Amino acid sequence: MRVVAAGWQRLEGLALFGAGLVAYAHMDAGWILFAVLFLVPDVSFAAYLAGPRFGALVYNLAHSLIGPLLLGGVGLAASIPSATSVALIWLVHIGLDRALGYGLKSPEAFGVTHLGLIGRAQSRS
């Protein structure tokens, strides 16, 4: 059952990726901004230098849907297109990560995610 759920969540990630790209294209915010900001959430990897527990916390904060949904909601409610654009880029990043199987991290190790094992953790199982 876990494999089916992970597969479904990867499909949801793909849908989020596609819908976010379409919405961003309609924002007419420019693809240079998109290219510059797309990988910014992955800077959270650096938190793993302080250990797996702290690394997982920071990574999960940067890769949870809560942040971009709140930012996008504020952007829409307050008519701040730049906030909405950044939120969409963030959502597209998360969607692609989830579609590729990179889920939220466990404090055990980077390779242990809510979508299953990745990287070296996968090859050890």
How far is the C-alpha of 9 from the C-alpha of 78, rounded, in Å? 31
Alpha carbon 48 to chain centroid, angstroms:
17
Place 88 in a pLDDT band, splitting at 50, 70 and 90.
very high
According to DSSP, residue 29 is labeled -
pTM for the full model? Answer: 0.89
- What are 28-58's pLDDT values in tens digits? 999 999 999 999 999 999 999 999 999 999 9
